Structure 1
Amino acid sequence: MEQSTLSRRGLGLRGVDFETVSPGYTLFAHLTSPGTVRLIANDGTEAHRWDLPFRPGRHARILPNGNLAYNGVHPDSPHLFPLWQKYRGGVMQQLDPEGKVLSEYRDPMAHHDQHHLDNGEILYTTLEALTPSQAASIPGGIPSSEAPDGKAYADCIKHVNASTGELLWKWRAIDHLSPDLFPLQPHYAREHWPLINSVFPLADGNILASLRSVSAVIIISRATGEVIWHLDSKTVAQQHCASELEDGSILIFDNGTFRNGESATYSRVIQVSRATKEIIWQYKDKTFPMAFFTPFMGGAQRLRNGNTLITEAAFGRMFEVTMEGEICWEYVNEDLKTYEGLQGAEELESVGFDYPANAVFRAYKYAPEEIPWLKR
């Protein structure tokens, strides 16, 4: 009998409703691959793929110019702590459909979200070590769980010109976040605060960021660096992938780990009014909420026809839902592999990631006219 639960439940295309699914192709990077990025059609067939020389440092996107924006794992990043091997990135590339590198920018301390802008600039998250007094000022977390070198690290956000390397803007969490207002959750290691897992440029020029280890989504003033909007753990729980929609509201993948006031664990996608902070739309599994859950990672993208593409990341599951919450497309990454043979594998295996996985950090979908080079 098949012993892999994921395989037994079914891989590949699980279903499609061609009447309600949005036309297009879904792009994803398989995290335990050497560097595989795939473009999948609605019928489940592979329309295109890239096999790149760096393990995925989270995700890939297709830019308006048709190039692939890819975040790979930096080959010379320092070994800060075991989980750093899992979510670090650092090689930020633009490539053509054949995989030719058109531009590249590197930062060995980059992690999670490296957001390639349409003009060739990059907005991304990176780390800096805190001083002992700064680290001591941060409450919460698991006692004595700092990095092996005894240090704690805090996030920075940088905006750079990828071509010239010029630093256009920089924000340091320790300078602008009050540790008392943003304490580490009690089950979280003290090695990394506040763990920014997504950054997004808003239409008004300010910066939207998701802070996982403190369960918060914030808006940062580009002019002053101050936090001018804050969604806290009463609404979100270790969330990911905060983005702005056309009406100015905020779409968030809410993981649900240690959700405030609930013992049952489930994930959901929520759309939050920026003006009132109220949830104005949400998706959770309609038949059995706990059946949709990923404890870490995850993505949500509002599509042109109003549907939402959702990435249930830890299980390699990507699916599309209508505004009414009906699933109209579902695909599960069929490639199950361990990190064996990849850089950082030994450290990852030491913290429990030693099993065959099909994990996908975040997927994106593109209409056919957004990929004019694709010949079908």
Structure 2
Amino acid sequence: MEQSALHRRGLGLRGVDYSTVSPGYTLFAHLTSPGTVRLIANDGTEAHRWDLPYRPGRHAEILPNGNLAYNGVHPDSPHLFPLWQKYRGGVMMEIDPDGKVISEHRDPMAHHDQHHIGNGQILYTTVEALTEEQSKSVLDGVPASEAPDGKVYADCIKHVDKDGSLLWSWKAVDHLSPEIFLLQPHYPREHWPLINSVYPLRDGNILASLRSVSAVIIISRETGEVIWHLDSKVVAQQHCASELADGSILIFDNGTFRHHESATYSRVIQVDRSTKDIVWEYRDPHPMTFFTPFMGGVQRLQNGNTLITEAAFGRIFEVTKEGKLCWEYVNPHFADYKGLDAQELEKYFNYPANALFRAYKYTPEQIPWLKK
């Protein structure tokens, strides 16, 4: 009998409602692949593929010019702590449809998110080691769970131009109050506050998701101060915060250790920026059957539908405004970390996985080269 529950439940295309699904193609990078990015049509067939020289450092996107933005794992990044191997990146590439590298920026301390914002500029997340005194100021978390070198690593955000020159930077240690942004008690002290997404807002400020303190914040580009804060009473180890056309904030809320709830489930929420009220929400009709403890993605599509990535289980699905499922696909490709220069992860994730960080969908008009 097949021992994998994911295989038994079914892989590949699980269903499609052509009357309500958004037209287009879904892009994803399989995390335990050597560097494979796939573009999938609504019928589940592979429309295009890139085989790249670095395993995925989280995800890929298609840029407005039609090229691929890819975050690959830096071959010479330091070994800070075991899970650093899982979510580090560092090779930020722009690649044309034929696989030719157009540009590349490298930072061995980069992790999680990169955002190409035009003219070759990139906004992305990194870490730096704190001093002993700074490390003591980081509160809570699991006692004595610092990195093997005894240090706490804290997040930074960088904005660079096409030549790699620094245009703007921000450091968590300089602008976050440790008393307000506490590590959650079950979280290791090796990394604070663990920024897993960073997004440039239309007003010029920066939206960021802080996983290990369960917070979504807006950072003033001018002063570096936090000017908006959605805390753990609303979100729980969330991911993928982005701004919608009306200024509201779309968030994948993982639900791990959710405030005052014992039942664990994931959801997607749309939050009004001025009131912090939830104005739209998606949960599965049976809430506990939609859950990923880490990672996760969400994208509002042009027709009003929402694409969701249930990341740890390789599941991508699309729902309508009314929350009706209209497309579902499960990554059928499985692999473990052996041979990917990630030995620290082999004991943590010693099984073939189909996990994704996040997926994105594009209309045919956004990838005209595909017709050619």
Aligned to 2:104: 104
| 1:43-82 equivalence runs, <5 A | 43-82=43-82
Q: Deviations over 1:48-80 (max 9, x none)?
A: 000000000000000000000000000000000
CA distance in 2, matches of 1:375, 1:338: 34
Paired with 2:69 and 2:295, the residues of 1 have a C-alpha distance of 19
Counterparts of 1:291-310 in structure 2 under 5 Å?
291-310=289-308
For residue 115 of structure 1, report the CA deviation from its aligned partner. 1.0
User: Secondary structure in 1 aligned to 2:346?
Assistant: helix
Task: For 1:246-285, list aligned pairs within 5 A.
Answer: 246-285=245-284
Counterpart residue number, 1:179: 178
Q: Secondary structure of the residue that 1:105 maps to in structure 2?
A: strand
Give the structure-1-normalised TM-score: 0.98
1:235 aligns with 2:231: no
| 1:194-241 Cα distance to aligned partner (Å, 9 max, x none) | 000000000000000000000000000000000000000000000000
1:93 to partner: Cα distance: 0.2
Q: Which AA in structure 2 matches 1:273?
A: D
Deviations 1:308-347 (A, max 9, x none): 0000000000000001000000000000110111011x20
Matched, 1:93 2:105: no
Question: Aligned-pair RMSD on alpha carbons?
Answer: 0.6
**Larger deviation: 115-124 or 55-64?**
115-124
User: Who is 2:350 aligned against?
Assistant: 354
Partner of 1:343: 341
Alpha-carbon separation, structure 2, partners of 1:298 and 1:355: 20
> 1:139-196 deviations in whole A, cap 9, x for unaligned?
11000000000011000000001x3111000000000000000000000000000000
The one-letter amino acid paired with 1:324 is: E
What is residue 32 of structure 2 aligned with on the other side?
Answer: 32
> Aligned residues, how many?
372
CA distance in 2 between partners of 1:313 and 1:248 (Å): 26
Cα distance in 1 for residues equivalent to 2:17 and 2:163: 46
**Partners of 1:119 and 1:372 in 2: how far apart?**
20
2:10 is matched with 10
The one-letter amino acid of 1:317's match is R
Are positions 1:189 and 2:154 aligned together?
no
Is 1:210 matched with 2:212?
no
Matched, 1:119 2:86: no
> 1:306 corresponds to which letter in structure 2?
G
Please state whether the residue corresponding to 1:309 is helix, strand or coil: strand
Residue 221 of structure 2: SS of its match in structure 1? coil
One-letter amino acid of the structure 2 residue matched with residue 22 of structure 1: S
The code of the aligned residue for 2:253 comes to: D
Letter in 1 for 2:302: R
- Give the drift of 1:353: 0.9
In 1, Cα distance between equivalents of 2:118 and 2:316: 25
Shift of residue 119, structure 1, vs aligned partner: 2.3
Letter aligned with residue 230 of structure 1? H
Q: For residue 243 of structure 1, what is the amino acid of its counterpart?
A: S
Q: Detail structure 1 runs of 4+ shifted over 4 Å in the superposition.
A: none
**Letter aligned with residue 116 of structure 1:** H
- Residue segments in structure 2 that go unaligned for 5+ positions in a row: none
How do residues 322-333 of structure 1 correspond to structure 2 at under 5 angstroms? 322-333=320-331
Taking every aligned residue pair, what percent have the same amino acid on both sides?
80
- For 1:271-290, what per-residue CA distance to the aligned partner results, in whole angstroms no more than 9, with x for missing partners? 0000000000000001x100
Partner of 2:359: 363
Question: TM-score, normalised on structure 2?
Answer: 0.99
